[in-house]
Amino acid sequence: MPEPVQRLGIRQVGEKIVLTLTRPASRTDDAPLGPDAVLEMLMSAREPSPRRPAEIEQDPAITWRIPVSEWDAYAQGRRIEVGLSLARIAQELKLQGGGEALRSRRLSFIAIVGEGGRRRRSEPSEVQTLIVCAPPPAPAAVAAKVVEEGILVSWSGTPPFRIYRQQEGEPRPDAPLNETPITGASYLDASAVLGTRYRYQVRSVAGSDAGCESGDSSEALVTRLDTFAPAAPEGLAAVAEGDSILLFWRPNREPDLRGYRVFRAEGLDATLTLLTPEDLTATSYTDRAVVAGMVYVYAVTARDGASPPNESPLSETATERMEPPR
């Protein structure tokens, strides 16, 4: 027989009931499912709600059947996600008034995988029950912008909210970014990976009913790019030691710091030019290419690990004169 359905979940999203489950793949003997496999989703609207799967299996109000040849159309990675229209459910139940006729009704679902007609059927999933709610309106004006700490998503609407993030090329997420709904109208996604493109959507949650969400908001698309330069290094000092000039400065604290570059001018009125083409990882540098009697002016910049790297403004300058030997 086919393996039982795993991880059947149910929630309301706007005017749809959304069922999710792990995509069935095998039989109880570990052989793959055959080409005639069918996913059946069975619903009961009876009161009191059925507690045992057999009660729904023996007398379902509605049955939806999806042959294995169509599973890809519902696939989100290893998950199958099916949206069931409340208006269609009401029509099947012969209720007047569309989806609104189902408000406060309790609907119960199970899922079964069959093969060979009704000869081989999996054990039914556990019963999942949901009370149909009046969903809040979807949030509006969703926007996403890159900030130094991550991606800041903002919107307007009726709280509380859940935020959903989809990486480009990846399945639609089943779980929100925020485990607990939030009441504010913005969210900082500090886990966004540099160089990755994301799409964000926000849903309102119906008060304390965590299983009832609004429909999806419009999408906000953004790629997290690092365009934020480190701060200019501080505390630069220059000290003549023998026939060299020693430079040192305080370390920067940016987590993505790659290194420092030193600039030098020969004379107070000369232009600063790059002295160290390669990034320095230390916070000191010894300039041995100096001439006695010359006044040198130095400045330092910091660079991060972005590609191309972002470079800080020049630090404050430090001046030192190489005295002639006595």
143: confidence class by pLDDT, cuts 50, 70, 90:
very high
Which percentage of the chain shows pLDDT scores above 70? Answer: 98
Domain spanning 140-223, CATH architecture: Sandwich (2.60)
The domain limits of the chain are: 9-131, 140-223, 237-321
pLDDT at 118: 65
Matching CATH topology for 9-131 and 140-223?
A: yes
pLDDT at 119: 74
pLDDT at residue 155 tops 80: yes
Q: What are the tens digits of pLDDT across the range 266-275?
A: 999 999 999 9
**Is-contact 111 124, C-beta < 8 A?**
yes
Q: What are the tens digits of pLDDT across the range 191-209?
A: 999 999 999 999 999 977 7
CA atoms of 101 and 110, how far apart (whole Å): 22
CATH superfamily of 237-321: Immunoglobulins (2.60.40.10)
304: confidence class by pLDDT, cuts 50, 70, 90:
very high
pLDDT at 125: 96
Length of the chain measured in residues: 326
The CATH fold of domain 9-131: Immunoglobulin-like (2.60.40)
Q: What tokens were used for 92?
A: 């099947």
pLDDT at 183: 94
**Matching residue, tokens 């912008």:** 145
Report the mean per-residue pLDDT for the chain: 95
Label residues 154-191 b or e (16+ Cβ within 10 Å = b). bbebeebbbbbbbeeeeeebeebbeeebbeeeebebee
Q: What are the tens digits of pLDDT across the range 261-299?
A: 999 999 999 999 999 999 999 999 999 999 999 999 999
**Is-contact 301 247, C-beta < 8 A?**
no
Q: What is the DSSP letter of 102?
A: G
> In this predicted model, which residue has the larger pLDDT, 179 or 119?
179
Q: What are the tens digits of pLDDT across the range 108-131?
A: 999 999 998 667 899 999 999 999
pTM of the model: 0.82
* Rounded mean pLDDT, 20-37: 95
pLDDT at 116: 80
**Is-contact 194 307, C-beta < 8 A?**
no
- Residue 127 CB-density burial (10 A; 0-12 exposed, 13-18 middle, 19+ buried): buried
pLDDT at 139: 98
Q: What are the tens digits of pLDDT across the range 1-18?
A: 999 999 999 999 999 999
323: confidence class by pLDDT, cuts 50, 70, 90:
confident
